[in-house]
Amino acid sequence: MAKQKKTLTTTLIVLLLFVIAVQFIPKAERNDSARGAKAITKQYDVPEKVQSILQKACFDCHSNRTEYPWYSNIQPFAKFMEGHILRGKDELNFDEFGSYAIKKQYNKLRSLENQLENEAMPLRSYTLIHHNARLSNEEISLLTNWSKALRNKMDIKL
Amino acid sequence: MKKIIFGAMVVVAFAFAACNSKSDRTAKQDHNMENMESSIPHAIGDDSSLTEIKASFIHVDPKVASSIKQIVNHYIHIKTALSNDDGKEAANGGKAMAAVIAQFGKSALTAEQATLYNQNEEDLKEHAEHIGENEGNIDHQREHFIMMSEDVTALVKGFGAGRPIYNAHCPMAKNNEGAMWLSEAREIKNPYFGSKMLTCGVVKEIIN
């Protein structure tokens, strides 16, 4: 009995040390880049309704305005979230949209329409926790219609 | 004590489960294309409808020409793989293309050529990477192949490909919006539908 208790105590201590140790995994810099003149809202007309949908459902992973929840300061959550956010930003950053070559801007909007129509964005692991980021069909068509109209105005030779 | 250990394990397990983003992106696409063979416009060998286009740049540095040729070869590789419904081969082609773009020697481009190349470079590289990373999601590869085809067409119309390239169009691709692709052969083998509708498409142009 006493022996069993001892193994348990050891296990717990090892686990505790592990949890403490992973806290030393460095966290990536956050929301560092400027969000000025290159933001999509500065370069193109983004109606308020569209902007508020993007903000609640996409900006956490696709802008320089990520709102980090409290548990994002705790490893290993921080590491996993960084993965999503850095990859998401790398794919599409609404605050740096204006720095993309025009063809890339045009095609990012096409991808946005595809992703929404396939319901592949926002990521499911995100809407699991952020319920208000789940988009209704009306919200989806509001975004895709805005995106298509914006593309039609772009001066691009394909 | 047991409760604490159990709790700690749940936390760790959750952390590992929470972030598997690849499987999140299930492409919910349903083409419903079975039984539609009869209504497809088949390719016809009618030369009168074929426009001939000459590549616009007359002097292309041999190194540049060779890199463009490689890009086109990898493109054809992806196209053939997609028409065979082979996402894995398509991914290999995508990775190979991304590698060529990463090493492209831009210093040998004239100003006019650089403008054309720069317009397409960043975009094309992303499509190559997406196709390379999504071997398990052929629908997503095909979405990016639509855009990749447009970029490669722009490059081939400028630089040429060292061989005749056919520009084909299928009006039913992309949910009936229509989409084009390039092929090394006249014969239609549709990369957007594969075995579902292999012969949808008409050759519109030949680029020399």
DSSP strand pairing (B165-170 vs B51-53) = unpaired
Look up residue A61 and give its two tokens: 């992973």
Pairing verdict, β B51-53 and B202-207: parallel
Tens digit of each residue's pLDDT (9 = 90 or more) over B75-100: 999 999 999 999 999 999 999 999 99
Span B138-159, mean pLDDT?
96
Nearest partner of B26 among B135, B139, B130, B127, judged by Cα? B139
The ipTM is 0.72
Smallest Cα distance from A52 to chain B, Å:
23
Query: Using CB atoms within 10 A of its CB, is residue A127 exposed (0-12), middle (13-18) or buried (19+)?
Result: middle
CA distance B178 to B203: 13
pLDDT band at B206 (very low <50, low <70, confident <90, very high): very high
Contacts of residue B26 in chain A, CB cutoff 8 Å?
Answer: 120
Contacts of A79 (CB under 8 A, 6+ apart): A25, A27
Instruction: Determine the distance in angstroms separating the CA of A49 from the nearest CA of chain B, rounded to an integer.
Output: 26
Q: Which residues of A touch B25 (CB under 8 A)?
A: 120, 123
| Residue B70 forms contact with A (CB below 8 Å) | no
In this predicted model, what pLDDT tens digit does every residue of A29-68 receive, in sequence order? 556 555 578 899 888 999 999 999 999 999 989 998 877 6
Structure tokens, B65: 């020409």
Shortest CA gap B131–chain A (Å): 13
Of B201, B204, B205, nearest to B170 (Cα)?
Answer: B201
Size of interface A-B (CB pairs under 8 A): 68
pLDDT over 90 at B156, yes or no: yes
Shortest CA distance to B203 belongs to which of B184, B68, B143?
A: B184
User: Which of the four pLDDT bands, split at 50, 70 and 90, describes residue B110?
Assistant: very high
Mean pLDDT lowest among A131-135, B69-73, B133-137: A131-135
For the segment B33-49, what is each residue's pLDDT rounded down to a tens digit? 333 333 334 444 445 57
Best CA proximity match to B191, nearest among B152, B164, B157, B161: B152
| pLDDT over threshold 60, residue B2 | no
3-state helix, strand, coil split of chain B in percent (to 5) is: 55, 10, 35
Identify all chain B residues contacting A72, using CB atoms and an 8 Å cutoff.
Answer: none
- Contact (CB<8Å) A123/B150: no
| H or E segment to which residue A63 belongs | none
